[in-house]
Amino acid sequence: MSNLLEVLVTSDSNNTLWTSCVWDAHTGTSLMTYRGGGTAEARTLTFIGNDYVAAVERAKPILHIWPLNSHQTVQGMRFILPGKASAIDITKDGAYCVAGIDEKIYLWQIASGTLLTIINRHYQKVVLLKFTPDGSHFISAAEDGMVMVWSVATVAAHPEVGLVSQTTAGQHDPVYVLSDHSLPITDLCISKTGMHGRLCTVSSDRTCKIYDLATGEMLLNLVFDLPLTSVAFDVLELNIFVGTIEGKIHQFSLTNPPRNRDLLVNTEDSRSSPTFISHTKAVTCLSVSLDGETLMSGSNDEQVILWHIRSRQPIRTVRHKGPITNAFFTVNFPAIYKQDFSPTVVLHSLDRTLEKDSDEVTEIDVLTNNKISFWPEAKGVIVENAPAKILDRDCSKKEAQLREELEKLKKINANLYAFSVQKALNAPTPAAQVNGKKKKKKSK
């Protein structure tokens, strides 16, 4: 199955068989399962580089991480979070991890486990966190209806990082604050061009808003007749797919923008708003395949349905044991099918507070596949363990020299000590003491 271009990754609220699963979208067969992580929190399933898959457990403050080719979690390490996380995301290169715990946002550097900052700008629980494709910014959305755009460089590089404490943390300003929604945000999606593209958000207030991330300006406000639960762009970002609380999925074309910024969408008109109808409960996840032909939808009715976009007909249904919490298309990772692979991403236990002991030094084991020829090799001669022999020879020479210098210093120190004592006490020399004793005996 390593010849597949893309796979489908899902998780549900029933963890009796597995926490998450990788599927072949063409046949509906299971390719890989990851177990032992409990129930994955909604929209927290993500990948760390091309080596690991991670998810937050819903009932515990733990981040579970699996090697892509293993059913079991990473051995010898536990990733304990400061609290139960409701949102999490990791950059594509595996450099940074951001998590939402209550109304606070925590940012870590994964390789060292260092907690870089704690942001406290939302007023209610953070429900969504997503990095831009280039990892330069991340976007946070909360139940207070606010969406904030953050620069990683600004947030992570605090000018007085050595003086940061728990009380002074989180005093950062976002790039933009988007407060147009009146009810909690339920989902968001970002253009592939990142800060040069668009941001689409949906909310329980029945609106779908599209922003220009470069300026923070709202471009379009779509008003529906039902609360919205999920949203996704197509591959060319010419259409958006919006999932509702009753299970319908509406498609809206962005190629013919309306004259006004606010538009009331007529969901009963199939021409202006094509609708995908099959789910019986709220749509929780939406994703479009890489070829742009297939739409994937996950719902609380325990089904993942693959749709043909042009005909709006279901192609395949993948049934689960519980409501769908995470589901999306992704490129196929070769590491899933390898028995032995060397990860390029370095993992480290995560810090839980900003305050650190100044004497603490974090040791990072860096694994690399590149062989560096540091020591010159003699041409035509194969010398085994040449670097070790050269090091031993140099060390032995240095040791002998240091011992000689140490003996000299000891002798000089002893002579200086004796001389100083004699001068300080004005004591006579040993020869004078002997002559004095002889004179006394003669006088007797």
Is residue 357 one of the residues assigned to a domain?
no
Is residue 351 one of the residues assigned to a domain?
no
Q: Do 144 and 65 fall into the same domain?
A: yes
**Per-residue confidence (pLDDT) for residue 436, from 0 to 100:** 53
pLDDT tops 50 at residue 25? yes
- Comparing 359 with 150, the larger pLDDT belongs to 150
CATH of the domain at 13: 2.130.10.10
pLDDT tops 60 at residue 385? no
Q: In this structure, are residues 178 and 194 in contact, taking their beta carbons and an 8 Å threshold?
A: no
Residues 6+ apart with CB under 8 A from 93: 49, 135
Distance CA 296, CA 316 (A): 10
Distance CA 276, CA 296 (A): 11
Cα–Cα distances in angstroms (integers) from residue 419 to residues 407, 410, 423, 435, in the given order: 19, 14, 6, 21
Distance CA 198, CA 206 (A): 20
Q: Do 322 and 402 fall into the same domain?
A: no
Q: What is the average pLDDT value for the chain, to the nearest integer?
A: 84
> Strands 217-223 and 262-264, how do they pair?
parallel
Q: Do 325 and 399 fall into the same domain?
A: no
Range of the domain at 221: 6-337
Cα–Cα distances in angstroms (integers) from residue 219 to residues 127, 195, 239, 260, 263, in the given order: 24, 15, 15, 10, 11
Q: Do 163 and 38 fall into the same domain?
A: yes
Average pLDDT over residues 132-146: 93
Q: Do 168 and 284 fall into the same domain?
A: yes
**Per-residue confidence (pLDDT) for residue 268, from 0 to 100:** 73
Is residue 343 one of the residues assigned to a domain?
no
pLDDT tops 80 at residue 350? yes
Distance CA 137, CA 402 (A): 55
pLDDT tops 60 at residue 318? yes
438 class by beta-carbon count within 10 Å (0-12 exposed, 13-18 middle, 19+ buried): exposed
Band the pLDDT of 393: cuts 50, 70, 90: low
Instruction: Show which of 308, 337, 366 is a domain's final residue.
Output: 337
Is residue 363 one of the residues assigned to a domain?
no
- Comparing 167 with 61, the larger pLDDT belongs to 61
Q: In this structure, are residues 60 and 100 in contact, taking their beta carbons and an 8 Å threshold?
A: no
Is residue 1 one of the residues assigned to a domain?
no
Q: Do 194 and 326 fall into the same domain?
A: yes
Q: Do 288 and 398 fall into the same domain?
A: no
**Among 250, 243, 244, which residue's Cα sits nearest to residue 270?**
250
Is residue 215 one of the residues assigned to a domain?
yes
Q: What proportion of the chain, given as a percentage, has pLDDT over 70?
A: 82
- Comparing 101 with 267, the larger pLDDT belongs to 101
- Comparing 73 with 171, the larger pLDDT belongs to 73
Q: Do 135 and 248 fall into the same domain?
A: yes
Average pLDDT over residues 108-132: 92
What DSSP element (H or E) covers 108? strand 104-109
**Among 155, 154, 157, 148, which residue's Cα sits nearest to residue 127?**
148
Band the pLDDT of 81: cuts 50, 70, 90: very high
Instruction: Show which of 304, 337, 370 is a domain's final residue.
Output: 337
Is residue 189 one of the residues assigned to a domain?
yes
Which of 50-64, 112-126, 351-365, 426-440 bottoms out in mean pLDDT, i.e. has the lowest? 426-440
Output DSSP code: residue 420: H
**Per-residue confidence (pLDDT) for residue 33, from 0 to 100:** 94
Q: Do 301 and 393 fall into the same domain?
A: no
Q: In this structure, are residues 53 and 16 in contact, taking their beta carbons and an 8 Å threshold?
A: no
Distance CA 331, CA 5 (A): 6
Q: Which residue bears the tokens 């249904």?
A: 317
Structure token digits, residue 171: 């005093």
Q: Do 402 and 303 fall into the same domain?
A: no
Q: Do 432 and 326 fall into the same domain?
A: no
**Among 114, 7, 9, which residue's Cα sits nearest to residue 53?**
9
Average pLDDT over residues 165-170: 52
Give the chain's domain count: 2
Output DSSP code: residue 442: H
pLDDT digits (tens, 9 = 90+) for 254-280: 888 777 888 888 777 666 678 999 999
Residues 6+ apart with CB under 8 A from 102: 83, 86, 125, 126
pTM (2 decimals)?
0.76
